[in-house]
């Protein structure tokens, strides 16, 4: 839809959302697609977890596997366990997920009836904050989750239910923050279509969401040489392999992404993404 409305094929996104999820989906247009790998990787979700049932997809989109009243479950039981899920933890993705096993997506294998045990991987959860609790036969917990890349909130819901002995599945999910963008900054598809039709759509400048990266200002001669792809020595000592925002010293203009790499003769400032090509005499 966006390709059609904006008249370009060069569009990318900063991380998929599950079919039932809503919220922030960063979109890059044109040359900004090359900057997607450098967006902030931390995310924030609002998750509603329903206890007392389990499903094939670990959310309400799937087939119900088990169902039993969890009326005896109290919020205090959950709060006592939440610290176990903080920090770097091992997590098994849902069977229906975009994780690849032997070159195939797990959801494609699952839909064909193949049972595949997804490999465990390490993810990081920074904060878990209880926002609401609704008791009943199938009580629901509303949880705010700050996490690193690759975290599946469906897996968190499933594992929490297993740990409590009641079973659980994800009832609703909203992504509040992703790639440096907040929900308040986001636009619905309808709003985008309306703004495009009225020539009012203004895209965010890439450098506004790259503030988590350290910056390095280049004087005009160094900036020109770097933009032309020449190997230059960094103007100051920098840690290797750390992406930096490169700026024009005179104007503060965002030039692109560079990082220092070690070579036999010392260090060079390598161009990872030249966002503003050099326009001027050779």
Q: What is the pLDDT of residues 97-144, one digit of tens each?
A: 655 555 555 555 555 555 666 778 999 999 999 999 999 999 999 999
Strand partners, 133: 141
Domain ranges of the chain: 2-40+180-206, 43-178, 213-274
**Alpha helices in 140-216, H assignment, sequence order:** 153-164, 189-197
pLDDT at 16: 86
Strand partners, 266: 263
pLDDT at 93: 87
Please list the helix, strand and coil fractions of the chain in percent, rounded to the nearest 5, in that order.
Answer: 25, 35, 40
pLDDT at 37: 95
Say what percent of the chain tops pLDDT 90: 73
pLDDT at 112: 56
CA pair distance 3, 258, nearest whole angstrom: 29
The residues that are catalytic are: 18
CA pair distance 270, 138, nearest whole angstrom: 56
Residue 168 has pLDDT above 60, yes or no: yes
* Mean pLDDT value of segment 186-200: 95
For domain 213-274, the CATH superfamily is: PUA domain (2.30.130.10)
Q: Are strands 215-218 and 181-182 parallel, antiparallel or unpaired?
A: unpaired
* Mean pLDDT value of segment 170-184: 96
CATH (residue range 43-178): 3.30.2350.10
The pTM of the full predicted model, rounded to 2 decimals, is: 0.88
């Amino acid at each position: 839809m966006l390709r059609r409305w904006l008249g370009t094929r060069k569009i990318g996104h900063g991380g998929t959302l599950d079919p039932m999820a809503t919220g922030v989906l960063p979109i890059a247009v044109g040359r900004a697609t090359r900057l997607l790998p450098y967006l902030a990787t931390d995310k924030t979700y609002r998750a509603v977890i329903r206890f007392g049932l389990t499903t094939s997809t670990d959310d309400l989109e799937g087939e119900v596997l088990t169902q039993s009243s969890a009326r005896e479950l109290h919020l205090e039981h959950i709060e006592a366990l939440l610290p176990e899920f903080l920090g770097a933890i091992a997590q098994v993705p849902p069977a229906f997920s975009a994780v690849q096993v032997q070159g195939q997506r797990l959801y494609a294998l699952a839909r064909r009836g193949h049972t595949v045990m997804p490999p465990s991987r390490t993810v990081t959860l920074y904060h878990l904050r209880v926002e609401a609790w609704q008791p009943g036969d199938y009580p629901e917990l509303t949880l705010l989750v700050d996490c690193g890349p690759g975290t599946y909130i469906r897996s968190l819901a499933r594992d929490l239910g297993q740990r409590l002995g009641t079973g659980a599945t994800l009832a609703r999910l909203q992504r509040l923050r992703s790639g440096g963008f907040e929900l308040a900054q986001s636009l619905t598809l309808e709003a985008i279509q309306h703004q495009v039709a009225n020539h009012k759509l203004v895209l965010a400048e890439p450098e506004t969401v790259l503030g988590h990266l350290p910056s390095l200002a280049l004087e005009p001669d160094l900036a020109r040489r770097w933009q032309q792809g020449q190997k230059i020595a960094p103007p100051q000592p920098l840690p290797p392999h750390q992406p930096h925002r490169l700026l024009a010293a005179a104007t503060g203009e965002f030039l692109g992404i560079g990082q220092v790499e070690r070579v036999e003769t010392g260090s060079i400032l390598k161009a990872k993404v030249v966002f503003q090509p050099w326009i001027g005499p050779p």
